[in-house]
């Protein structure tokens, strides 16, 4: 059976260059904290990779802290900055996060509320999933002295909305409040420049852009107060402990360098594929609804370098359908997609992102995310457009039967 993999936002295949680099390192021995020859060789590989990744994201090498993935980096940012900023300032209890954050940010924030006295403020978003800057401005003006940090993702993992990161940073810095951004989905799809953004901390990970699962980084200013979450050898600037994964780090650096260098051409190609997919779906299933910003085509570079939504993202809802039913029916027809974040897969509840955008729960339950990547082709789109109308009809019929309409109870 011909298959189309359209779940690159969950994880994307490793690039051949990254796989080759990782395989070569796996054949070598050496702990980068050891002082003998093998250890020093491993350390050299780590530091060269740190320099390469820093160059790819517009940071200094000393600002790159390697982690075991995006979730660990987000936890280190939320917990570490909160605790670091509260030292000597117990009044700094507030954590401001957008209502559409990934659970790797939301869950540690609410854990801090339960276990460490934090007060969580969920910043509302508009119907496209974009943070309401007016509310952020008012929150900071009224409570800046009590605010430990702001965390808003660079681009949403479900609906693809690109957030106004620079404006958020400018508002927060007017009050001396640091800003963290989860840029896991942005790196490799959008121009990401840590220094130019003004961010204080930023999360990136390897497996969204052609690197391996299990390797990520928190990019953080050296003067940013941050308390360790993991304790041990203090390998990464005394903030993150654990033996460094030399092979994963090397492959991450190779994948990031490759993704950033090829970004302009790839973004245009993927946006064209995405637009053909979206318009084809809307033509064949007229009552489907595109979620997130509707201006699909990549605009000319306006200096900020970012479109309204990710070029590889198409998120739609299908009235009268359950997302899980659509997913399984598409899978049986050879199309692999997602209902949203893979980290929440298997949990039968509507997306918190769609609910925060004001989408009614009954509509939010019929969501599908199509996400493209380096291996995506016109043939993948053709297969989706061929099988989707029948899949939607079957999902709707199944829903009616389950309600006892037009069939046996």
Which residues are designated catalytic? 343
Of the candidates 197, 203, 171, the residue with the CA atom closest to the CA atom of residue 81? 203
The backbone torsions φ and ψ at residue 268, rounded to the nearest 5 degrees and listed phi first, read -65, -45
Whether the Cβ atoms of residue 378 and residue 269 lie closer than 8 Å to each other: no
Whether the Cβ atoms of residue 195 and residue 177 lie closer than 8 Å to each other: no
Q: How far from 115 is each of 108, 136, 138, 146, CA to CA, in Å?
A: 10, 25, 27, 18
Of the candidates 245, 152, 163, the residue with the CA atom closest to the CA atom of residue 203? 152
Residues 6+ apart with CB under 8 A from 99: 122, 123, 124, 125, 352, 356
Three-class SS state of 315:
strand
Q: Which two tokens stand for residue 187?
A: 């790196």
The pairs formed by 228-232 with CB atoms below 8 angstroms and a separation of 24 or more are 228/76, 228/80, 229/72, 229/75, 229/76, 229/79, 229/80, 230/72, 230/76
Whether the Cβ atoms of residue 391 and residue 329 lie closer than 8 Å to each other: yes
């Amino acid at each position: 059976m011909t298959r189309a993999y359209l779940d690159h936002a969950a994880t994307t295949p490793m690039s051949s260059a990254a796989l080759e680099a990782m395989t070569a390192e796996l054949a070598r021995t050496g702990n980068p904290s050891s002082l003998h020859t093998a250890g020093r060789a491993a350390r050299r590989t780590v530091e060269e990779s740190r320099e390469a990744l820093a160059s790819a994201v517009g940071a200094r090498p000393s600002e790159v802290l390697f982690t075991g993935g995006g979730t660990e980096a987000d936890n280190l940012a939320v917990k570490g900055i909160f605790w670091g900023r509260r030292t000597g300032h117990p009044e700094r209890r507030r954590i401001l996060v957008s209502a559409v954050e990934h659970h790797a940010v939301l869950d540690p924030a609410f854990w801090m509320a339960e276990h460490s006295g934090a007060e969580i403020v969920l910043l509302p978003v508009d119907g496209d999933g974009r943070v309401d800057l007016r509310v952020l401005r008012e929150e900071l003006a009224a409570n800046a002295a009590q605010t430990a940090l702001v965390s808003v993702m660079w681009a949403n993992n479900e609906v693809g909305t690109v957030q106004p990161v620079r404006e958020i940073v400018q508002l927060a810095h007017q009050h001396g409040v640091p800003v963290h951004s989860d840029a896991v989905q942005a790196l490799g799809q959008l121009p990401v420049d840590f220094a130019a953004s003004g961010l204080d901390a930023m999360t990136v990970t390897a497996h969204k852009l052609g690197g391996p699962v299990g390797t990520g980084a928190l990019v953080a200013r050296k003067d940013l107060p941050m308390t360790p979450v993991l304790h041990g050898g203090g390998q990464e600037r005394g903030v993150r402990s654990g033996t460094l994964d030399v092979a994963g780090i090397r492959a991450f650096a190779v994948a990031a360098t490759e993704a950033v260098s090829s970004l302009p051409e790839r973004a245009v190609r993927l946006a064209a594929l995405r637009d053909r997919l979206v318009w084809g779906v809307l033509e064949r299933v007229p009552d489907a609804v595109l979620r997130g910003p509707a201006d699909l085509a990549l605009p000319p570079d306006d200096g900020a370098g970012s479109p309204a939504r990710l070029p590889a993202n198409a998120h739609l809802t299908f009235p009268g359908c359950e997302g899980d039913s659509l997913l399984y029916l598409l899978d049986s027809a050879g199309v692999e997609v997602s209902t949203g974040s893979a980290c929440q897969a298997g949990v039968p509840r509507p997306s918190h992102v769609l609910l925060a955008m004001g989408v009614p729960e009954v509509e939010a339950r019929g969501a599908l995310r199509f996400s493209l990547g380096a291996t995506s082709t016109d043939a993948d789109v053709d297969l989706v457009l061929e099988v989707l109308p029948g899949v939607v009809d079957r999902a709707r019929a199944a829903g009616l039967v389950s309600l006892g309409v037009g069939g046996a109870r």
